[in-house]
């Protein structure tokens, strides 16, 4: 990347913080607690990976951080922006600073726009560049995201690009407004294993050069380990383990984190430390595979329906959210909800941390 | 046993150039074998699966070669003979097939339709069979009374696998059966499949772009690149020593997440355009070990190590390989 690009792409670093964020979706008969008092931060210029299986609440966090959705309670801030109370009219302005990259690069691109048009638009709309300056900058971004030779790619449309090239275009579009935060929701899960590294390391390189922070959402712990500084493990809307990527993945404590590690396809699995080959955990499958869907886990089984003083029914979690699948559960796990404990570099929410 | 000989498939389209997605494939799938087919997106995996199951429209596409199942060349059968064979001999779960369940019918309906079309069963017999199949894929028998939207993605995929087994086929072709699912569900389904195949002893052609996953379930692996099978051997041998540089590069994409240092690898470049004629080895432009012959001459197949490889490193004289 040329120094000029770094300058113009460069953004101010900002800290993202979620404090006790709860999101409850109201349904006809009962409420779904999609997020339960989630707290974590992304320090300026860092990459934090948010991992968890389908339905754990990852996208809900992304929607709350980008202001598409408001939390039921709790606070979200990015630098000086207080997101959860932001008036709707200021959201547009805010969104310039928080850019999303989605899973499917195809559906998030306008099929009629060329690469050049796709990259020029945010420069004109958000940064009010003149046409010629936007054009020049768009070429610089193409160079940065390696859509080169640029002259050859400038006039291509999305269907003429490979999957990896399309995702690099989406990333280029995301950095164009000089965001403070990039939220990448499963950016490589639709790509071949052979091109994932390329796209992930591009994101990594960009945050190093521009200083933006990155919230990287994935269900793949391996890629989380490879590019992120910190990992936050989400299970049914609860943060069950968090800390430095190296710590969380090499010394996973929570049984659920170990299930995730065990599920990573790995031809060299035999090299795994004994830890994740725990025979009990190998047999934990997806929750509910033998259950009819009425019991399928989107609503935590440990939820008890309580009627509050206002007379409105709300589900309140009691006990560990992982209890139904946990081979180590005891009566304490059923009665009390474990909270995150431990040094800030590695915290676990499990009553039996260190014993299993 | 299924034997594919010199199979070629070309898609013809009114707009655009014809695409030759399968280019002279020779493979054998023995009975009672779980075999994986891997390769990057667009290399022709689904096309090969379709051609084996005769799902390609022969009038619009050009299919040449032979697909022999127990002495019968499937490519020579007429529609009526084919229909008799489907489900009973070969069944297919299509890519994204879990979404193929008709949303207005209960799950059991779709099983019964297939059973009625192929035999005389009483309703009780059918229900018993469905319950057994659901049990095989670790679903509760209640699932048969449910509608597709009441099932999670993983449950639907299990149901689709159960449906493919309804008439006890000899070969089941599963095209990316777990790709849309998250890692934990994927792992569980693949474990279940492996166990089921070992117990019921049918053959599976498991198509996936994820070599790591395939190596965990399959007994043999075929690696496809640009319409050709470039390496085939048993999983155990492949894990010990893979010969084709493409297979090696794919394997290098997997690292132990708990290793001290984790650096993801990829394969630079992208696969060739299958609408163009290919010269030399199709992988040469991306191959770290390529030499002059690779760009000009098509490598021949070299047999050995209980399988084969198609690469000049093993055919050219005077080339030192790390094989000794
Ligand atoms: N608009 C909505 N209305 C009701 N429930 C919702 C809504 N959006 C999400 N949910 C529920 O909230 C929970 C979390 O969903 P979310 O999409 O955040 O999960 P995710 O971790 O992103 O999953 P995936 O990996 O499948 O994308 C799920 O139980 C989901 O069914
Ligand atoms: N109906 C069609 N008409 C023309 N070309 C086609 C058609 N179907 C597939 N192709 C082309 O044939 C090639 C092989 O496609 P195929 O679907 O077999 O690949 P694949 O290995 O299954 O890929 P994926 O992993 O993405 O499913 C691709 O280049 C594709 O664009
Ligand atoms: S708190 Fe109890 S149920 Fe929850 S993960 Fe720990 S041992 Fe298992
Ligand atoms: Mg999501
Ligand atoms: Mg396919």
What is the pLDDT, as a whole number, of residue B128?
A: 95
pLDDT in tens, B95-149: 877 778 889 999 999 999 989 988 889 999 999 999 999 999 989 999 999 999 8
Tokens of B165: 């087994």
Q: State the pLDDT at residue A193.
A: 87
Q: For the segment B223-259, what is each residue's pLDDT rounded down to a tens digit? A: 999 999 999 999 999 999 999 999 999 999 998 888 8
Q: Identify the residue whose tokens are 């003083």.
A: A309
Q: What are residue B93's phi and psi, to 5 degrees?
A: -110, 110
Q: Do B182 and A53 touch (CB under 8 A)?
A: yes
Q: What is the DSSP letter of A318?
A: -
- For residue A237, the ligand 1 atom closest to its alpha carbon is 14
What 3-state class would DSSP assign to A321? coil
Q: Which two tokens stand for residue B186?
A: 């994927």
Q: Averaged over B305-312, what is the pLDDT? A: 94
Residue B207 phi, psi dihedral angles, 5° rounding: -95, 130
**pTM (2 d.p.):** 0.87
The residue nearest atom 7 of ligand 1, judged by CA position, is A25
- What interhelical angle do B153-164 and B183-200 show, nearest 10? 20
Percent share of chain B, pLDDT over 90 = 71
DSSP state of A345: T
Rounded to whole angstroms, the Cα distance separating A191 from A137 reads: 27
Chain A residues in contact with B212 (beta carbon < 8 A): 193, 264-267
Which residue, among B195, B207, B216, B256, would best test binding to A if mutated, counting the most A CBs under 10 Å from its CB?
A: B256
**Interface contact flag, A292 B254, Cβ < 8 Å:** no
Q: Is 50 exceeded by the pLDDT of residue B177?
A: yes
Preferred mutation among A105, A192, A287 to probe B, highest tally of B CBs within 10 A: A192
**Average pLDDT in chain B:** 91
- Which pLDDT does position A267 carry in this prediction? 78
* Alpha-carbon distance A43 to nearest alpha carbon in chain B (angstroms): 22
CB B186 to CB A289 under 8 A? Answer: no
Is residue B265 pLDDT above 60, yes or no?
yes
Sheet containing B61-69, strands listed edge to edge, beginning at the edge strand earlier in sequence: B19-29, B2-11, B61-69, B72-73
CB B266 within 8 A of CB A195: yes
Range with the poorest average pLDDT among A292-306, B79-93, B149-163, B261-275: A292-306
Q: Provide, as residue numbers in chain B, all residues whose Cβ is less than 8 Å from the Cβ of A53.
A: 182-185
Which residue, by CA, sits nearest to atom 16 of ligand 2?
B44
Average pLDDT over residues B272-295: 93
Helix, strand, coil distribution of chain A in percent, nearest 5: 35, 20, 40
Is A123 part of the contact surface with chain B (CB cutoff 8 Å)?
Answer: no
* Burial category of A141 from C-beta neighbours within 10 Å (exposed 0-12, middle 13-18, buried 19 and up): buried
Q: How many angstroms does the Cα of residue B96 sit away from the middle of ligand 5?
A: 9
Structure confidence at residue B207 (pLDDT): 97
Identify from B157, B257, B270 which residue to disrupt to test chain A contact, counting A C-beta atoms within 10 A and taking the largest count: B257
C-alpha distances in angstroms, B224 versus B25, B29, B92, B152, B294? Answer: 10, 15, 19, 32, 17
Q: Please give the radius of gyration of chain B, using alpha carbons only, rounded to the nearest integer.
A: 21
Cα–Cα distance measured from residue A274 to residue A144, given in angstroms and rounded to the nearest whole number: 42
CA angle B50, B54, B58 (to 5 degrees): 100
Per-residue pLDDT, A293: 30
- Its ipTM equals 0.84
CA distance A345 to A181: 22
Could you give the angle at which helices A115-125 and A163-175 cross, rounded to 10 degrees? Answer: 20
Residue B129's pLDDT is 94
Sites in chain A below the pLDDT cut of 70: 1-12, 29, 269-317
pLDDT tens sequence across B28-76 = 999 999 999 999 988 999 999 999 999 988 788 999 999 999 899 999 9
Q: In the numeric block, which tokens belong to residue A64?
A: 């709350």
The CA angle B313-B317-B323, to the nearest 5 degrees, is 45
Q: Which helix (H) or strand (E) holds A230?
A: strand A230-235
CA distances from A249 to A316, A342, B187 (A): 30, 16, 18
For residue B318, is pLDDT > 60?
no
DSSP assignment of A30-54 equals --EEEEEEEEEEE-TT-EEEEE--T
Helix axes B153-164, B123-136, angle to 10 degrees: 120
Q: What percent of chain B has pLDDT over 70?
A: 97
Give yes or no for A286 touching B (CB within 8 A): yes
pLDDT, residue B233, reads 96
Closest ligand to C-alpha of residue A23 is 1
Closest Cβ opposite residue A250 in set B254, B258, B267: B258
More confident call, B181 vs B287: B287
CA A99 to CA A211: how far, in whole Å? 14
Contact criterion met (CB below 8 Å) for A330 and A292: no
Distance from residue A14's CA to the centre of ligand 2 (Å) = 44
Q: Which pLDDT score is estimated for A270?
A: 60
**What is the DSSP annotation of A85-136?**
G--HHHHHHHHTTEEEE-S-TTTTS-TTS-HHHHHHHHHHHTT---HHHHHH
Establish whether residue A54 lines the binding site of ligand 1, counting it when its CB lies within 6 angstroms of any ligand atom: yes
How far is the alpha carbon of B77 from chain A, nearest alpha carbon, in Å?
36
Q: What is the 3-state secondary structure (H, E, C) of chain B?
A: CEEEEEEEEEECCCCCCCEEEEEEEEEEECCCCEEEEECCCCCCHHHHHHHHCCCCCCCCEEEEEEEEECCEEHHHCCHHHHHHHECCCEEEECCCHHHHCCCCCCHHHHHHHHHHHHCCCCHHHHHHHHHHHHHHCCCCHHHHHCCHHHCCHHHHHHHHHHHHCCCCCCEEEEECCCCCCCHHHHHHHHHHHHHHHHHHCCEEEEEECCHHHHHHHCCEEEEEECCEEEEEEEHHHHHHCCCCHHHHHHHHCCCCCCCCCCCCCCCCCCCCCCCCCCCCCCCHHHCCCCCHHHHHCCCCEEEECCEEEECHHHCCCCCCCCCC
């Amino acid at each position: 990347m040329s120094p000029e690009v770094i300058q113009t792409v460069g953004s101010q670093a900002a800290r993202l913080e979620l404090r006790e964020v709860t999101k409850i979706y109201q349904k006809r008969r009962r409420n779904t607690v999609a997020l339960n008092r989630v707290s974590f931060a992304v320090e300026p210029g860092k990459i934090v990976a948010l991992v968890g299986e389908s339905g754990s609440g990852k996208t809900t966090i992304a929607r709350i951080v980008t202001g598409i959705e408001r939390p039921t309670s709790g606070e979200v801030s990015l630098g000086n922006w207080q997101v959860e109370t932001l008036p709707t009219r200021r959201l547009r302005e805010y969104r310039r600073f928080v850019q999303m990259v989605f899973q499917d690069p195809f559906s998030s691109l306008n099929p009629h726009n060329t690469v050049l048009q796709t990259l020029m638009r945010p420069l004109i709309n958000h940064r009010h560049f003149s046409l010629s300056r936007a054009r020049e900058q768009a070429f610089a971004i193409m160079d940065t995201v390696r859509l080169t030779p640029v002259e050859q790619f400038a006039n291509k449309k999305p269907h003429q690009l490979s999957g990896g090239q399309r995702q690099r275009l989406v990333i280029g579009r995301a950095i164009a407004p000089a965001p403070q935060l990039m939220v990448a929701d499963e950016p490589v899960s639709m790509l071949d294993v052979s091109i994932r590294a390329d796209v992930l390391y591009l994101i990594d390189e960009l945050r190093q050069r521009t200083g933006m922070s990155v919230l990287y959402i994935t269900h793949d712990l391996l890629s989380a380990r490879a590019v992120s500084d910190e990992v936050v493990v989400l299970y049914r809307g609860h943060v069950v383990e968090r800390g430095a990527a190296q710590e969380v993945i090499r010394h996973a404590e929570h049984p659920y984190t170990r299930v995730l590690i065990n599920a990573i396809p790995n031809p060299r699995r035999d090299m795994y430390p004994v830890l994740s080959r725990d025979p009990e955990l190998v047999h934990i499958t997806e929750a509910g595979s033998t259950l009819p869907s009425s019991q399928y886990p989107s609503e935590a089984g440990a939820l008890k329906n309580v009627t509050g003083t206002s007379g409105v029914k709300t589900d309140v979690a009691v006990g560990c959210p992982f209890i139904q699948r946990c081979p180590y559960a005891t009566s304490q796990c059923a009665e009390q909800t474990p909270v995150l404990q431990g040094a800030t570099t590695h915290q676990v929410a499990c009553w039996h941390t260190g014993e299993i | 046993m299924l034997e594919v000989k010199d199979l070629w498939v070309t898609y013809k389209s009114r707009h655009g150039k014809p695409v030759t997605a399968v280019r002279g494939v020779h493979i054998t799938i023995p009975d009672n074998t779980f075999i994986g087919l891997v390769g990057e997106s667009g290399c022709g995996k689904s096309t090969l699966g379709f051609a084996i199951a005769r799902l390609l429209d022969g009038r619009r596409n050009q299919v040449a070669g032979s697909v022999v199942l127990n002495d019968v060349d499937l490519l020579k059968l007429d529609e009526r003979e084919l229909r008799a064979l489907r489900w009973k001999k070969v069944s297919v779960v299509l890519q994204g097939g879990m979404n193929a369940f008709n949303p207005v019918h209960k799950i059991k309906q779709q099983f019964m339709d297939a059973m009625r079309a192929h035999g005389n069963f009483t309703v009780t017999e059918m229900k018993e069979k469905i319950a057994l199949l659901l049990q095989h894929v670790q679903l509760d028998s209640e699932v048969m009374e449910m509608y597709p939207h009441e099932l999670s993605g993983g449950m639907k995929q299990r149901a689709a696998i159960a449906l493919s087994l309804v008439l006890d086929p000899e070969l089941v072709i599963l095209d990316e059966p777990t790709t849309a699912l998250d890692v934990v569900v994927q792992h569980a389904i693949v474990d279940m499949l492996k166990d089921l195949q070992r117990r019921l002893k049918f053959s599976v052609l498991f198509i996936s772009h994820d070599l790591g996953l395939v190596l965990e379930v399959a007994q043999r692996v075929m690696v496809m690149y640009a319409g050709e099978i470039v390496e085939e051997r048993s999983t155990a041998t492949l894990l010990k020593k893979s010969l084709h540089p493409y297979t090696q590069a794919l394997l290098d994409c997997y690292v132990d997440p708990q290793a001290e240092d984790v650096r993801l690898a990829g394969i630079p470049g992208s696969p060739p355009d299958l609408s163009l004629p290919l010269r030399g080895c199709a992988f040469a432009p991306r191959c770290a070990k390529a030499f002059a012959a690779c760009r000009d001459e098509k490598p021949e197949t070299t047999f050995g190590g209980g399988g084969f490889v198609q690469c000049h490193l093993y055919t050219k004289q005077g080339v030192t390989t790390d094989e000794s």
